Structure formats: C-alpha cells, structure tokens
Amino acid sequence: MITGAAGFIGSHVTRSFVTKYPNYKIIALDLLTYAGNLENLCDIENKANYDFVKGDICDSDFMRKLFVERNITDVIHLAAESHVDRSIADPFVFIKTNVLGTSHLLHLAKESWDSKSGDHIFYHISTDEVYGSLELNGGFFNESTAYDPRSPYSASKASSDHMVRAWHHTYGLPIVISNCSNNYGPNQFPEKLIPLFINNIIEKKALPVYGQGLNIRDWLHVEDHANAIDIVFHKGQMGETYNIGGHNEWKNIDVIHLLCKLMDQKLDRKNGESAQLIKFVTDRPGHDLRYAIDASKAEQTLSWKPNYSFEEGLSKTIDWYLENKSWLQNVTTGSYKEYYKKQYLDRTKEVNR
C-alpha cells in the first residue's frame, strides 16, 4: 500500500512501482484532500496491478478493514499535510494527519503483521526539515543530526518519525525512514515555490518572495526521490534512516531568477519581463534559513545517486507545466476534484446496476 498516492511525490512513486513491478499488487490509498489529484495517476489507472482506494489514514476502522481484506504486506507512507505556510495558518490538521494518522497506521501494521518477520516493511517518508535550520556555513544534516523542528509542519513530521522509531524499538515493527530535501517536478501543487511561480509567470501575476529571498533550499527532482524510495524500500536496512538530497543548494532569489530567465525564453517574452513580476513581501514567520543534506550514507551503502542537474530538471519541469496547461487550469479552478467523481463514482454506478 502506498499512502498519499495521489499527491505530488506519491503519484511518481506509485507510477514507478506499478510500471516496474507488475507482480506487486499496489493499493494506492489517498483521502483526496485539496492536495490529492487523481489526474496525476490517469495514465496507470487501467493497469492490472493498480487499485485506487479513497480513504483516511486517521479512520482506523476503515484502515483496519482494508489491511485485512487486501492483505496489506508493506506500507510506503507518504500521506501527510505537507505545506509549511498552511501549517502556520492551521496547525491542527497537521497534528491530526501527520502525528495521529501515522500512529494509527503503525498500530494497525503492528496488529496485522507478525512484527519481527522480515516479510514486511513500514517505510515512512519524511523531510530534512525535522533537523531544523542551518547557518550559512553550518555544515550539512546527516542521519545523526539532532532533531530541532521549528514549524508546525516540521514538528508534526518530527513527531511522526519518533512514533515510527518508537513502534520499532518497543514492538519490533520492521521500519525504515528516509528524510529528503525539497522536491520539485511535474504534478506539484501550485502552492509550493516552483509551481506557484511557474503558474504566476504564465498568468503574469506577482511573484511573492519572502523576506530578501536569501533563504537556501537543497533541491531534488521528484524522479530522483522516487528512485531513492524504490532503492530504500528494497535494499534499506531494517530500523535505519537514510538522508536523501542532491547536493544542490540554491538561494531562493537565484532559483527565481533562473526560473524567470527560462520562462522568458520558453514563452517568447522579452528577457527580463518575468523578473519584473518579483515582489518582496513580509517574511514567513520562523522562516528556516538553510537546509542542506549530506546523502553520503544512501550513496555509499545503497549506491543511490541523483540523475538530474537542477538546470536540466527545472527546464524539463517548466516544459511539463507548459505542455500540461489543462492540469494547472484544473487545479487552479478546482475542477480537478471532479475527476474522482467522473472516473470512480460513475464506475461504481455501473457495477451496482
């Protein structure tokens, strides 16, 4: 079972598993919150080894039934509330989904599996934001960096990581965790920096840069992350944590200028036109200065390495958004919510007739 399968990273992981492993029976579980979009999975929806289930990880009765009826053997857990700005505006749904939802799932896995058996794995997908914020020359996050989360989002993910390890140490649940840096790529909801700015440049709307744009993020293409998840799932050692990142630190303002330059070229606009949309706005409260990952453990012990350079990945990402304007339009107008009703509820009617 892959939870959060209709979200940004979950949809890439689901597509990759369904395509690469025809013998796996994949249950793609998602509540379809504002961030879940079944259009992300439309190209694999008829595959024999793919089954979408709409459900809430916080609904333990529903999830218990699913575990038993579908004989869930392994979990790759991505379902979460994922945006820092939303966590500042409304922290409680983050605590509910990320902390309580994850804890419910862990407990079900413990109930359902003979815990110490090596036949199962509960793989928890987490973020580098649990480690807090680095100074400009403050080194890198590695797997033994002390947790120091500073936003409601990162605190909820840190709590869920602790719960995962607690279920491992206390009950012997077979787990593995990876903590990844900022992802970008196709299908990302246009609330995060890169897709929001791509959308705003297309629509000639302002580009709101928080503070002076000097904060640093370590960017990784989503397909490189999905590949890391595949490798950790198959080769990761039980109970271990792996940091995933592309050694690719960028100041926000530099990302934005590169994005503006590429968009001007691709939209045939005058050089410098998109950059005129940049607007410096009030900083995000508690804005972490810098994230940077030391991924040497995953590179050395699992032979994982990223394939995309940032310039190439960003250019391809822009191309994807320009070639899939209807995806962006469906999301920004809200009509993407109709996809589930059209594809799935109609089919239910047919079955019931």
Instruction: Tell whether residue 209 is a contact of ligand TYD (CB under 6 A).
Output: yes
**Binds ligand NAD (CB under 6 A): choice among 1, 2, 8, 155:** 8
What type of residue sits at position 138?
G
Query: Residue for token digits 């983050």?
Result: 94
Instruction: Tell whether residue 313 is a contact of ligand NAD (CB under 6 A).
Output: no
Q: Are 120 and 113 in contact (CB under 8 A)?
A: yes
Q: Are 98 and 81 in contact (CB under 8 A)?
A: yes
- We find the least distance from the C-beta atom of residue 177 to ligand NAD, in angstroms, to be 11
Looking at residues 258 to 297 of the shown chain, list those that interact with ligand TYD (rule: CB under 6 A): 284
- We find the least distance from the C-beta atom of residue 23 to ligand NAD, in angstroms, to be 25
**Binds ligand NAD (CB under 6 A): choice among 14, 82, 159, 252:** 82
**Binds ligand TYD (CB under 6 A): choice among 208, 235, 316, 324:** 208
Instruction: Tell whether residue 199 is a contact of ligand TYD (CB under 6 A).
Output: no
Instruction: Tell whether residue 75 is a contact of ligand NAD (CB under 6 A).
Output: no
Helices (H), the chain: 8-20, 60-69, 84-89, 91-94, 102-112, 152-171, 193-202, 222-235, 252-266, 296-302, 310-323, 325-333, 338-340, 346-352
Q: Are 50 and 13 in contact (CB under 8 A)?
A: no
Instruction: Tell whether residue 10 is a contact of ligand NAD (CB under 6 A).
Output: yes
Closer to ligand TYD by Cβ: residue 47 or 284: 284
Closest CA to 52 of 97, 24, 14: 14
Q: Is 129 a catalytic residue?
A: yes
Q: Which of 39, 56, 81, 129 is catalytic?
A: 129
Instruction: Tell whether residue 196 is a contact of ligand TYD (CB under 6 A).
Output: yes
Closest CA to 185 of 11, 6, 2: 11
**Binds ligand NAD (CB under 6 A): choice among 1, 27, 28, 35:** 35
Query: How far apart, in whole angstroms, are the C-alpha atoms of residue 240 and residue 249?
Result: 25
Q: Which of 50, 123, 131, 153 is catalytic?
A: 153
The pair of three-digit structure tokens given for residue 261, joined into one six-digit string: 């330059």
Query: How far apart, in whole angstroms, are the C-alpha atoms of residue 317 and residue 196?
Result: 12
* Residue window 168-207: x/- pattern of binding to ligand NAD, with contact defined by CB under 6 A: ------------x-xx-----x------------------
Closer to ligand TYD by Cβ: residue 158 or 173: 158
Terminal alpha carbon distance of the chain: 29
**Binds ligand TYD (CB under 6 A): choice among 84, 177, 244, 262:** 84
Query: How far apart, in whole angstroms, are the C-alpha atoms of residue 201 and residue 215?
Result: 21
**Binds ligand TYD (CB under 6 A): choice among 243, 252, 274, 317:** 252
Q: SS3 sequence, 56-89?
A: CCCCHHHHHHHHHHCCCCEEEECCCCCCHHHHHH
Q: Which of 128, 218, 224, 288 is catalytic?
A: 128
Closest CA to 43 of 16, 72, 67: 16
The residues carrying an active-site annotation are 128-129, 153
Enumerate binding residues for ligand TYD (CB under 6 A): 84, 182, 192-193, 196, 208-210, 215, 217, 252, 284
Q: Which residues bind ligand NAD (CB under 6 A)?
A: 3-4, 6-10, 30-33, 35-36, 56-58, 78-80, 82, 97, 101, 125-127, 157, 180, 182-183, 189
